[in-house]
Amino acid sequence: MASPMSQKLEEKLVCSICLELFRVPVTLPCGHNFCKRCIGDHWDKQKQAPAGTDASYTCPECRRGFEQCPELEKNVTLCSVVELARDSEARGSAAGRCEVAPGELCPQHGRPLELYCQDERRCICCVCTVRHCQQHRRVLFEEERAKKQVGDKAGVMGGTGMAAQGWQEPTSTLGMFSQRLDSMILEVFSNLNYWCLSSQNFLKESLEKAQEESERIELEMKELEEQTQSIKVMLQPPCAGLWVGAHWFSQLFLPRTPRRRSKLGFRANLSAPPMALLFPDHRNLTFNADTANKYLKLSKGARKAKHGTGAVHGQERGPRFEPWQVLCTQSYGPPGHHYWEVKISSHSVVLGVTYRGLPRGQQQGHGFNIGLDGGSWGLQVREDCYLAWHEGRAEKIREQLYTSLGVSLDYGKGLLSFYGLGERTQLIHSFHGIFTEPLYPVFWLCEGRAVTLLSENSMLRQAWGAVF
């Protein structure tokens, strides 16, 4: 007799739709198994559901829904196990079921066992014939019993000997089936345990690597921050009074008086450090005449812009600004560092950088539109202070008025700085952000004001003139 565990395992081999052993078992994505034909009939009924009902594909056991009909693949392992169980059942009941008394009912459908299926070697009813044995070879129960009585060489009545032999064979077969099934289950659980341990080790290693990477990035960020602070300190005037570049040279080798002529006729001016030597990556700029407001007059070389009283151009069209603004022709993009210097005639001037798409129209309530959106940054030079503009917000900066200004742009680090060039090089303001497009220098001039873009040669002449 089979063990209780074997009986429970046999129950797991039954389709929950037809309540019989699986025939061509298939596995759904949710893990439940059904006969391929049973689950197909189940989904066909769902398709025929009336309008307004949920007609998606669902699992009959867990009710999980699927947007599309899952591809049904045959469960080869389960199919093999079912075949073993079916063979054991067929061998155990081949002779005994042939001797079922007429009128006995089918345990599955409750109808009389009147027929015998030669393919499955068991007694069946009329319902079994339609549902399961439609393509099998079938004979009347009485004919099959008579045939077995005639073919019994031992001369034993009916199926007495057959029944005894039939019960011995299935018992041993079920025992072998139970042992094989137990070994298969142990093998499956062993593989699952190995997979779980492997996954745990993999996740542990991944977490350790992620933690190491996070620590490395944090260390690099800290080093980058220290480098940024060092650069800021380097750009600030040194506390000891020693200047960089040519001014540092003048402090070491020239007399320490404000102005003194040497025997050669040179003059030592210790008032300002030459920023052009600090930033060798200078690029000569020119104004873009196509963008200039009609009241702005540009010089012959397009290096000077002046706001006059009369209109220089005709009607405004195309890319010209309605405010008193002008763009530079050149733009700055990644990678690297960029620097340029300008000279202004007086206050009431705005200088900055912008993306190409800066609006050309007049902004309501403002004379300029530099720094009023997220794509432009500007420094407004006023008579008593400076205003740093970005995204329509202004930060007030108390500092003396400089007529010579330097602009430093580190595109990769997202750093834009404005310097005042006078007796001491003074950092006025710095913007920190992330740049995503090429940046164009842009200027706004009030009436009577002028802005000059200093070339590299003129910057060097001023730098060395400050030394000698």
Q: Residue 427: pLDDT band by 50, 70, 90 thresholds?
A: very high
Burial group, residue 119, by CB count within 10 angstroms (0-12, 13-18, 19+):
exposed
- Grouping H, G, I as helix, E, B as strand and the rest as coil, residue 72 is coil
Radius of gyration over every alpha carbon of the chain, rounded to an integer in angstroms: 47
Give the range with max mean pLDDT: 7-11, 254-258, 261-265, 443-447: 443-447
- Helix/strand/coil for 293: coil
Rounded CA-CA distance 381/348 in Å is 6
Q: What is the pLDDT of residue 195?
A: 84
**pLDDT of 156-209, one tens digit each?**
444 444 444 554 555 566 777 777 888 888 888 888 888 888 888 888 888 999
Closest CA relative to residue 406, chosen from 427, 386, 387: 427
pTM: 0.44
Contact in structure between 442 and 356 (CB atoms under 8 Å): no
Indicate if the pLDDT at residue 37 is higher than 50: yes
Q: What residue has token string 């802005």?
A: 451
Res 92 pLDDT > 60:
no
Length of the chain (residues) = 468
Whole-number pLDDT of residue 260: 35
Structural element, H or E, at residue 410: strand 404-410
pLDDT-wise least confident of 65-74, 198-207, 239-248, 391-400: 239-248
Residue 197 makes CB contacts below 8 A (sequence gap 6+) with none
Between 54-63, 66-75, 81-90, 91-100, the lowest mean confidence (pLDDT) is in 91-100
Q: 59-68, 184-193, 256-265, 282-291: lowest mean pLDDT where? A: 256-265
Q: Where are the alpha helices (DSSP H) in 351-408?
A: none
Question: Domains in the chain, start-ordered, CATH in brackets?
Answer: 97-158 (3.30.160.60), 264-467 (2.60.120.920)
CB neighbours of 446 closer than 8 A, spacing ≥ 6?
307, 324, 348, 349, 367
> Whole-angstrom Cα distance, residue 345 to residue 402?
10
* Range from 77-91, 137-151, 280-294 carrying the lowest mean pLDDT: 137-151
Average pLDDT of span 107-114: 75
Across residues 204-222, what is the average pLDDT?
Answer: 91
Q: What is the pLDDT at residue 23? A: 85
Residue 268 has pLDDT above 60, yes or no: no
Tokens 């081949």 map to which residue? 94
Element housing 468 (H / E): none
